[in-house]
Structure 1
Amino acid sequence: MELKEKIKNLPTSPGVYLMKDSSGHIIYVGKSKKLKNRVSSYFQHSKNRFGKWEKLVKHIKDFDFILTDTEFEALMLECKLIKEIQPMYNRMMKTTKAYNYIVFRWQKGNYHMEIANELDKDDVHYYFGPFTSKGTVENVINGIKAFYKINCSQEKWSQSPCLNYSIGKCMGICFDPIAKEAHQQIIHRLIALFNKKDNGVLEEMSTKMIEASSNVEFEKAAEIRDTITKINTILQTESVVSFMVDNHLIMAVESLADYRIKLFLIRRNKIIYQQIYEVNQVDIQEVKRRIESLSVPNQHISALGKEEIDEAYIIYKYLNSDNCTYTVIEDDRVSSTECDYLEDVLRRILPIPIQN
């Protein structure tokens, strides 16, 4: 079948498309809420298409597609296929996310703030992340060190100050016992900040920013403002990670066409159950049995790994969109004597009559 005819027969439903070259190799994977519209756009003349996109289009000789019921499922499937297939043009045109962690590392009686590429689960240091932008993490660390003047260029304690002390970047933590103690207090405040237990650091930065602006030190004020912005960015990332880890089992419901709904059960970064129901024919007993079979009470909660974070972001964004309603199911209560717990949860989330 010719491409034009194949495109003409595409549905307008959500799904994933897999672009192929003349050898049948998959060179690009994409998703769309309306497959026909998106795929056909590749074969329409556009003045805005240039560079790598233009090369991709020239290499497309065929395509396959996989239909999904929702755009959410298309996003999850796209993410999965890109990781499995690693198509050439996805690697070329999508920025590789170099996930990183902020670590407060205990060394020789002091904590030091650093950037780390990997999470050492057996490590006793404080790790925060993973974060999707290495540049943002570096900016945060550099901004904090500049603000508090804790950018010491001397690794060991000494009787004389480091070079950075002479240019105002180090408060003297390399040689002054008082500065060394102040440095550790700052570190503990930063750990509390990233643990979301104390916003004192951000409040202090905001105060100093206003003071700098009032004193016509606009460059200094802008630097502090940028650091605050970057900190808030990675704190939001921490919110995504902690939400997906802490909430063991999530049930989401999305309305479909023809008086149907789709029910999802999600754990961490995976959809572990999905089923379409007619609006007036949701069998609550079936759903309860499914939830009970998937519930894992008193389970150990491990940190979210780098390989899980892409899907976690997709799920988090979906849950906080207007496309679905969701609720968190408490594993420990599913198998308890509270026989009405699941039924109450289901009746809250399903805006329709349900069968007993």
Structure 2
Amino acid sequence: MELKEKIKNLPASPGVYLMKDSSGQIIYVGKSKKLKNRVSSYFQHSKNRMGKVEKLVKHIKDFDFILTDTEFEALMLECKLIKEIQPMYNRMMKTTKAYNYIVFRWQKGIYHMEIANEMDKDDIHYYFGPFTSKGTVEKAIEGIKVFYKIDCSQSIPSNTPCLNYSIGKCRGICFDPLAKETYQQIIHRIISLLKKSDTKIIEEMSAKMIEASSNFEFERAAEIRDTIAKIKTILQTETVVNFMVDNHLIIAVESLDDFRIKLFLIKRNEIMYRQIYVLNNLDIQDLKWKITSFLSMNIQHIGTLEKAEIDEAYIIYKYLNSDNCKYAVIEDEWLGNSESNHLENFFERILSIR
């Protein structure tokens, strides 16, 4: 079948498409809420098309597609296939995510704030992450160090000031015991910020930004503004990680049409169960059995997300907080209580999405 005819017969439904070259090798994987519209766009002339996309289009000789019921499932499937196949043009056109962590190491009587590529599970130091953008983390840390003047350029204590002290970037951590004590207090506040137990650092930065702007120090104000933005991005990442780790089992329901819903049971970064239900034939007792069976599963996980889990976790978190579905975290006490009405009350509430 010719490409034009194949595109013409594509459905306008969610799914994943796999672009192939002349040898049949998959060179790009993408997803769309409306497959027909998205795939056909590759074969329509556009002046605004990026050079890398043009290069991809020249190599497309065929494509396959996989239909899904929802855009959410298309996103999850795209993520899975890209990791498995590693198509050439996905690597070229998508920014490589250099996952990293912020770590606070206790060395020689003082905390050092660093960026690490891996997390040592046996390490007693403070770890935060993983974060998907090393650049964002680096700029946030640099901005905090500049703001609080804790960017010491000496790696070991000394009796003389470092170079950064002479240019106003270090408060004297390298040689002044009082400055070192203040530094420790600031570090503990940064740790509290990343734990989200104290956000006064952002308030202080915001006040200084306004003050700098009022004094016509616009460059300084812009630097602080950018640092605040980077910090908020990091905190959002921590929100995603903590949410997906802390919650044991999540139920999500999306309406497909006036008569059908799709139900998902999600644990960490995985869809454990998915099923389409006709509303008029919904068997609550069967659903209770399904849910309790998953609650009974004793799956052991480490206390944070691995790098390999973070992509799916982001997709799930964004989906749960979109307008496409309604969800709830299923509590452990819902299990094993035959007189409990938790599930019935939940379904009464959740099925009101019609």
TM-score of the two chains, using structure 1 as the length reference: 0.95
Please give the alpha-carbon distance, in whole angstroms, between the structure 2 residues aligned to 1:301 and 1:332. 22
Is the CA contact (8 Å cut-off) linking 2:326 and 2:353 kept in structure 1?
no
- For each residue in 1:214-255, what CA deviation from the matched residue of structure 2 results, as whole angstroms up to 9, or x when unmatched? 333222222112111111111111111111111111101111
Deviation, 1:306, is 1.2
Aligned length: 353
CA distance in 1, matches of 2:346, 2:109: 50
Is the alpha carbon distance of 1:260 and 1:305 closer, same or farther for their aligned partners in structure 2, counting shifts above 3 Å? same
1:195 & 1:15 partners in 2: Cα distance? 38
Q: Which residue of 1 aligns with 2:4?
A: 4
- Counterparts of 1:48 and 1:341, CA distance in 2: 53
* C-alpha contact (below 8 Å) 1:246/1:301 kept by paired residues: no
Which residue of 1 is the match for residue 329 of structure 2? 328
> 1:82 aligned to 2:79?
no
AA aligned to 1:345 is F
Letter in 2 for 1:232: K
Instruction: State the shift of 1:309 in Å.
Output: 0.9
* 2: CA distance, partners of 1:321 / 1:8: 31
C-alpha distance in structure 2 between counterparts of 1:12 and 1:209, whole Å: 49
Instruction: In structure 2, give the amino acid aligned to 1:343.
Output: E
CA contact (8 A) 2:22 2:59 kept: yes
Whole-Å separation in 2 of the counterparts to 1:36 and 1:198: 49
Q: Offset of 1:213 from its aligned partner?
A: 2.3
Shift of 1:95: 0.8
Opposite residue 220 of structure 2, the aligned amino acid is: K
1:156, CA displacement in angstroms? Answer: 1.5
Which residue of 2 is the match for residue 317 of structure 1? 318
Kindly state the Cα deviation for residue 336 of structure 1 after the two structures are TM-superposed: 4.4
Contact 1:260 1:277 in 2 (8 A): yes
Q: Structure 2: which 5+ residue stretches go unaligned?
A: none
Work out the CA distance in 1 between the residues paired with 2:347 and 2:145. 49
Deviation at 1:297, TM superposition (A): 7.8
1:276 deviates by 0.4
Distance in 2, matches of 1:201 and 1:193, equals: 7
- Structure-2 separation of matches of 1:352 and 1:44: 38
Letter in 2 for 1:199: T
Q: Which runs of 4+ in 1 moved over 4 A?
A: 296-301
Instruction: Give the aligned residue type for 2:40.
Output: S
Task: Report 1:291-310 matches (<5 A).
Answer: 291-296=291-296, 302-310=303-311
Partner residue of 2:71?
A: 71
Q: Say whether the 8 Å CA contact 1:149–1:170 is kept in structure 2.
A: yes
Deviates more, 1:135-144 or 1:237-246: 237-246
Cα separation, 1, equivalents of 2:41 and 2:59: 15
1:157 alignment partner AA: P
CA deviation profile, 1:38-85 (whole Å, cap 9, x unmatched): 111111222222411111111111111101001110010000000000
Partner-residue secondary structure (3-state), 1:29? strand
Q: Distance in 1 between matches of 2:141 and 2:296?
A: 38
- Alpha-carbon spacing, 1:122–1:162, altered in 2? closer, same or farther (3 Å): same
Structure 1 equivalent of residue 174 of structure 2 = 174
Q: Which residue of 1 aligns with 2:187?
A: 187
Letter in 2 for 1:55: K
**2:251 maps to what in 1?**
251
Retained in 1: the 8 A contact 2:202–2:228? yes
| Separation in structure 2 between the aligned mates of residue 325 and residue 352 of structure 1, nearest angstrom | 8
What secondary structure, in the 3-state scheme, does the structure 2 residue paired with 1:156 have? coil
Matched, 1:237 2:267: no
Q: How do 1:1-356 and structure 2 match up within 5 A?
A: 1-257=1-257, 259-296=259-296, 302-336=303-337, 339-351=340-352
Paired with 2:167 and 2:144, the residues of 1 have a C-alpha distance of 17
Contact 1:279 1:352 in 2 (8 A): no
| TM-score normalised by L of structure 2 | 0.96
Amino acid at match of 1:131: F
